[in-house]
Amino acid sequence: MGHHSTLLRRILLAMGLSSLPLVAQQGCVGVRGPAADDDDSSSDPLDIDNDEDGYSENDGDCDDDAPAVHPAAIEICDQLDNDCDGATDEDDASDAQTWYQDADGDGYGDQDETRSACEQPQGFAADSSDCNDLNDAINPAATEVCDEVDNDCDGTTDEDDASDAQTWYLDFDSDGHGNPLNSTVACEQPGGFVTDSSDCDDSNGAVSPSSPEVPGDGLDNNCSGFIDEMDCADAPLVSDSSDMPTNFPARVMLCDALPTSGLCPEPTALYVEGLTNQTVGGPPMNMCHWYVINSCGPDDSSTTQCCYVAELDQACVMPGRPLRIDGAPRLAPLRPSDDWSEQVEADFSSLTPERRSLVLTKWTEAAQLEHASVASFARFNLQLLAVGAPPELIAAASRAQGDEIAHARSCFGVASALAGRELGPGPLDLEGSWSGNGEMRALLEENLREGCINETLAAAEATWLADQCTVPALANILKTIAEDETRHAALAWRTARWILQQRPDLKPLAEQILSAAPGTAVEHDELPTDDAWMADYGCMPREEARKLRVEVWQQVLKPSRSALLGRRTEQDQALA
- Residue 305, pLDDT > 60, answer yes
205 belongs to a structural domain: no
Claim to verify: residue 311 and residue 381 sit in the same structural domain: no
> What tens digit of pLDDT does each residue of 366-381 get?
999 999 999 999 999 9
Three-class SS of residue 432? coil
Confidence category of residue 277, pLDDT binned at 50, 70, 90: confident
Residue 247 is predicted with a pLDDT of 78
Residue 403 is predicted with a pLDDT of 94
Cβ neighbors of 539 (< 8 A, separation 6 or more) are: 358, 359, 362, 363, 465
Cβ neighbors of 266 (< 8 A, separation 6 or more) are: 298
> What tens digit of pLDDT does each residue of 467-522 get?
999 999 999 999 999 999 999 999 999 999 999 999 988 888 888 788 766 544 44
Look at the chain and report how many structural domains it folds into: 2
Q: Are strands 334-335 and 424-425 parallel, antiparallel or unpaired?
A: antiparallel
Confidence category of residue 8, pLDDT binned at 50, 70, 90: low
- Residue 336, pLDDT > 60, answer yes
Claim to verify: residue 380 and residue 421 sit in the same structural domain: yes
402 belongs to a structural domain: yes
Percent of the chain with pLDDT over 90: 35
- Residue 10, pLDDT > 60, answer no
Claim to verify: residue 263 and residue 288 sit in the same structural domain: yes
- Please enumerate, as own/partner, the contacts of 215-219 that have beta carbons within 8 Å and a separation of 24 or more: 218/353, 218/354, 219/353
67 belongs to a structural domain: no
Residue 242 is predicted with a pLDDT of 87
51 belongs to a structural domain: no
122 belongs to a structural domain: no
Claim to verify: residue 291 and residue 401 sit in the same structural domain: no
- Residue 142, pLDDT > 60, answer yes
Counting every residue written for the chain, the total comes to 576
- Residue 365, pLDDT > 50, answer yes
Largest Cα–Cα separation, the chain: 145
Q: Are strands 305-315 and 289-296 parallel, antiparallel or unpaired?
A: antiparallel
Mean pLDDT of 348-367: 91
Claim to verify: residue 246 and residue 340 sit in the same structural domain: no
Claim to verify: residue 345 and residue 422 sit in the same structural domain: yes
Claim to verify: residue 310 and residue 451 sit in the same structural domain: no
Claim to verify: residue 363 and residue 255 sit in the same structural domain: no
Mean pLDDT of 202-218: 83
293 belongs to a structural domain: yes
Claim to verify: residue 257 and residue 343 sit in the same structural domain: no
Domain-ending residue, one of 456, 476, 509 = 509
Three-class SS of residue 337? coil
Backbone angles phi, psi at 448, to 5 degrees: -65, -45
Cα–Cα distances in angstroms (integers) from residue 268 to residues 192, 226, 251, 325, in the given order: 28, 10, 17, 23
Claim to verify: residue 307 and residue 350 sit in the same structural domain: no
> What tens digit of pLDDT does each residue of 521-560 get?
444 334 445 789 999 999 988 778 878 887 888 888 888 8
Give exposure, 321-338, as e/b (b: 16+ Cβ within 10 Å). bbbbbeebbbbbbbebeb
pTM of the model: 0.48
Claim to verify: residue 302 and residue 402 sit in the same structural domain: no
Residue 552 is predicted with a pLDDT of 85
Domain-ending residue, one of 509, 531, 548 = 509
Residue 4 is predicted with a pLDDT of 47
Q: CA 557 to CA 576: how far, in whole Å?
A: 19
Pick 16 or 431 by higher pLDDT: 431
Residue 20 is predicted with a pLDDT of 44
Mean of the per-residue pLDDT values of the chain:
81
Percent of the chain with pLDDT over 70: 81
Residue 488 is predicted with a pLDDT of 92
Mean pLDDT of 279-306: 75
Q: Are 467 and 460 in contact (CB under 8 A)?
A: no
158 belongs to a structural domain: no
Helices 558-565 and 507-515: crossing angle in degrees, nearest 10, is 170
CATH of the domain at 474: 1.20.1260
Domain-ending residue, one of 285, 316, 347 = 316
DSSP 8-state code for residue 251: E
For residue 278, give its domain range: 227-316
Pick 5 or 248 by higher pLDDT: 248
424 belongs to a structural domain: yes
Claim to verify: residue 421 and residue 468 sit in the same structural domain: yes
